[in-house]
A and B are shown apart, each in its own frame.
Chain A
Amino acid sequence: MSTLLELSGVSVSFDGFKAINNLSFQIGEPELRAIIGPNGAGKTTFMDIVTGKTKPDEGRIVFGEKNISLIGMSESKIAREGVGRKFQKPTVFEAQTVRENLAMALKNPRGPFEVLFYRKTKEGAERIEALAEQIGLTEELTRVAGELSHGQKQWLEIGMLLAQEPRLLLVDEPAAGMTPAEREKTTSMLVEAAKTRAVVVVEHDMEFVRRLNCKVTVLHEGSVLAEGSLDHVTQNPEVIEVYLGR
Chain B
Amino acid sequence: MKMQSSMRYAEIKTSTPNYWGILAALAVIALTGFAAAHHMDTEGHHVTGMTNQVVWGLPHVFAIFLIVAASGALNLASIASVFGKQDYKPLARFSAVLSIALLVGGLAILLLDLGRPDRLIVAMTYYNFKSIFAWNIILYTGFIVIVLAYLWLMMERRMHRWSKPAGLLAFAWRLILTTGTGSIFGFLVAREAYDSALLAPLFIVMSFAFGLAIFIMLLMLSFRLDQRELDHSHLQRLRKLLGLFTAAVLYFVIVFHLTKLYGTQNHDFERFILLDGGIYTLMFWIFQIGLGNLLPLAMLYAPGLQRSNSALVIASLLVIVGAFAQLYIIIVGGQAYPLNIFPGYIVESSFFDGVINEYTPSLWEFLLGFGGVTGALLVALLGIRILPIMPESLPAEVQ
**Chain A complexes with chain B:** no
Give B residues with C-beta under 8 Å from A.
none
Give A residues with C-beta under 8 Å from B.
none
